[in-house]
């Protein structure tokens, strides 16, 4: 199995754990505050990661350039919005369905990849993405008609998928715009600058809002620290995989996260799942396998 596939699966698992921890924080923080935690508390661990790479690898860290800065700002801003939208979807649907709605990002990432980077997808990959999307739709089928694709929760989920798709393509563009010193180093540098931008941008927003959210975040530092650790490890995996392979492919394989979602949904949150979920998971797995034949 290719290296990028392995680290994508690991990143998907860690992202799922981070999302579950973030959901628990919504009882104490706003959607924006819970989103900010993943950036603020991941930043120190990314700094340690970069220091380790710089110290132990015989490779200098690449210098940022104008194109890199543009991708970082666009991608970082889109991810902030995507995170807030996703957490808002959790407040209107259960944990599993909220995550599933956001997974429409795979087909959107393919479109963003064509527009922003000029990267198309192969026939097998396109078929795999569509099949896995059908699996997501099966998993997302509402239990009541009023909660369908035109509901508020669906809107937040789909919007989060759009934002995450744009951010994924921008992060690949940022990594590829750096000097070719190695994908691990390029991805780490991209991650470091993105997190710094996100921490400063969203920190300024919360400070100007002046509703005491930063104080509540400080008081929740223990669970927030776990969110930061899991978020940093997941992001390092995503960024490295997307420096190697097209963003649409990486995000499609990352849909394996839904399997982890249902395990956590049942084991931790005691949420009931439906028979159609089995068919949805089967379609997702089939789509991923087909994509890997591309």
Q: Which residues, 6+ apart, have CB-to-CB distance to 64 below 8 Å? A: 72, 178, 189, 193
Mind giving me the DSSP string for 191-208? HHHHHHHHHHHHHHHHHH
- pLDDT for 145: 44
Q: How far apart are CA 95 and CA 56, in angstroms?
A: 40
Rounded CA-CA distance 30/12 in Å is 24
Helix, strand, coil percentages in the chain from 3-state DSSP, rounded to 5: 80, 0, 20
Across the chain, where does the E strand assignment appear? none
Residue 144 has a CB neighbour count (10 Å cut-off) of 7
User: For residue 60, what are its two tokens?
Assistant: 């200098």
Please state, in angstroms and rounded to a whole number, the distance separating the CA atoms of residues 166 and 113: 8
pTM (2 d.p.): 0.85
Given its phi and psi angles, is residue 118 left (phi above 0), alpha (psi -120 to 50 degrees) or beta?
left
Q: Which domain holds residue 177?
A: 3-292
Whole-number Å distance between alpha carbons of 195 and 41: 10
Dihedral of CA 154/226/262/24: which sign?
negative
244-261 in b/e form (b: 16+ CB < 10 A) is: bbbbbbbbbbbbbbbbbb
- The burial of 196, by beta-carbon neighbours within 10 Å (0-12 exposed, 13-18 middle, 19 or more buried), is given as middle
Rounded CA-CA distance 189/282 in Å is 37
**What CA–CA distance (Å, rounded) separates 253 from 8?**
7
Q: pLDDT tens track of the chain, all 294 residues?
A: 689 999 999 999 898 888 878 878 878 888 788 889 989 999 999 999 999 998 888 778 999 999 999 999 999 999 888 877 877 776 665 555 666 677 778 888 998 999 999 998 888 888 998 898 888 777 766 554 444 555 666 678 788 889 999 999 999 999 999 999 999 999 999 999 999 999 999 999 999 987 889 999 999 999 899 999 999 999 999 999 999 999 999 988 888 877 777 776 777 767 766 777 778 878 888 888 888 887
Give how many domains the chain has, as a whole number.
Answer: 1
Answer positive or negative: Cα dihedral of 117, 120, 124, 129.
Answer: positive
Cα separation, 198 vs 32, whole angstroms: 12
- Name the residue among 96, 82, 91, 79 with its Cα closest to residue 152: 91
């Amino acid at each position: 199995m290719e290296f990028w596939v392995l680290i994508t699966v690991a990143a998907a698992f860690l992202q799922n754990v981070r999302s579950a921890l973030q959901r628990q924080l919504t009882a104490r923080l706003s959607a924006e505050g819970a989103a900010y935690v993943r950036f603020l508390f991941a930043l120190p661990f990314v700094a340690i990661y970069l220091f380790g790479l710089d110290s132990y690898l015989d490779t200098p860290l690449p210098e940022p350039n104008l194109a890199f800065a543009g991708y970082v700002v666009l991608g970082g801003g889109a991810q902030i919005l995507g995170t807030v939208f996703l957490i808002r979807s959790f407040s209107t649907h259960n944990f599993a369905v909220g995550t599933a709605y956001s997974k429409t990002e795979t087909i959107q990432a393919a479109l963003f990849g064509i527009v922003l980077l000029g990267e198309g997808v192969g026939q097998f990959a396109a078929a795999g993405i569509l099949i896995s999307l059908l699996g997501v739709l099966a998993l997302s089928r509402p239990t009541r008609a009023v909660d369908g694709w035109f509901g508020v929760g669906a809107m937040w989920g789909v919007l989060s998928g759009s934002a995450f798709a744009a951010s994924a393509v921008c992060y690949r563009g940022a990594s590829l715009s750096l000097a070719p010193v190695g994908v691990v180093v390029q991805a780490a540098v991209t991650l470091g600058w993105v997190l710094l931008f996100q921490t400063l941008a969203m920190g300024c927003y919360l400070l100007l809002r002046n509703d005491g959210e930063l104080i509540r975040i400080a008081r929740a530092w223990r669970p927030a620290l776990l969110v930061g650790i899991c978020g940093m490890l997941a992001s390092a995996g995503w960024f490295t995989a997307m420096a190697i392979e097209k963003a649409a492919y990486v995000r499609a394989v990352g849909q394996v996260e839904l399997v982890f979602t249902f395990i956590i949904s049942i084991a931790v949150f005691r949420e009931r799942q439906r028979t159609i979920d089995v068919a949805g998971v089967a379609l997702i797995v089939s789509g991923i396998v087909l994509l890997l034949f591309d």
